[in-house]
Structure 1
């Protein structure tokens, strides 16, 4: 598997994990010390990986036949770091997510997510 394919696999885990409230997929995609940051109602939301996963699982899964939106707009990789911009949907809203990935012990993991909710 190429590095690009490995990064894409992590992004798929992330999007499917959010869409279907799959805690295992999200834990596999994110580094344990990852942070998730964005603004909601003008206030900064800063979450740990575990708080983010809890929020996703509380929201619940999309219907099993749903096709999650995942538009990868940019992938930039240098050595063992990468940045990915992905457009996705969660809880009925569209988001732009910027994911920072790091290759740790041979595996790509999301170490930071910064998000923007559209509309």
Structure 2
């Protein structure tokens, strides 16, 4: 007989979403330091921005934020797609970032020493409708 035990408390979902929101709030304010608060120091990212592959160390994201500034009109929806006691996958549907682009970000998070942090980001940029 299998055990009917809830593996992940709701509190963990809340903490994962809060980490994703640190990232979004950093984008909104144009602060690479605030964005970095959501990421592990060795995190990586990959995706295409304006048709060019942007990949490698997460510093590429911080550089993008530094170069493009605030995104005060950014709109997002955060969905936790999967979660275990130590890892989670989040999708962020994002509209109107600092360059006016729309994205789907997929963040992989890991819980280390009781703290959720993003270890990897992959993303898809949609074409502008203008």
Normalised TM-score (structure 2): 0.80
* Correspondence for 2:74 among 64, 68, 72: 68
After TM superposition, the runs of 4+ consecutive aligned structure 1 residues lying more than 6 A away are none
Q: 2:49, 2:37 → 1: CA distance? A: 26
Structure 2 gap segments, 5+ residues each: 1-9
Residue equivalent to 2:15: 6
- The Cα shift of 1:67 comes to 4.7
Length, aligned pairs only: 116
Q: Summarize deviations over 1:68-118 as a string: whole Å, max 9, x none.
A: 311124431012000001111322010000000000111000000000001
Structure 1 gap segments, 5+ residues each: none
CA RMSD, Structure 1 to Structure 2 (Å): 1.8
Task: Note the 1:13-28 alignment, pairs <5 A.
Answer: 13-28=22-37
Residue equivalent to 1:97: 105
Cα contact 2:78–2:90 (8 A) shared by 1:
yes
Q: Kindly indicate which of the two structures has a greater share of residues assigned to strand.
A: 1
* Correspondence for 2:65 among 47, 56, 81: 56
Q: Summarize deviations over 1:3-58 as a string: whole Å, max 9, x none.
A: 11111111111111112212222111000111110024554321312221121121
Q: Report SS of the residue matched to 1:57.
A: helix
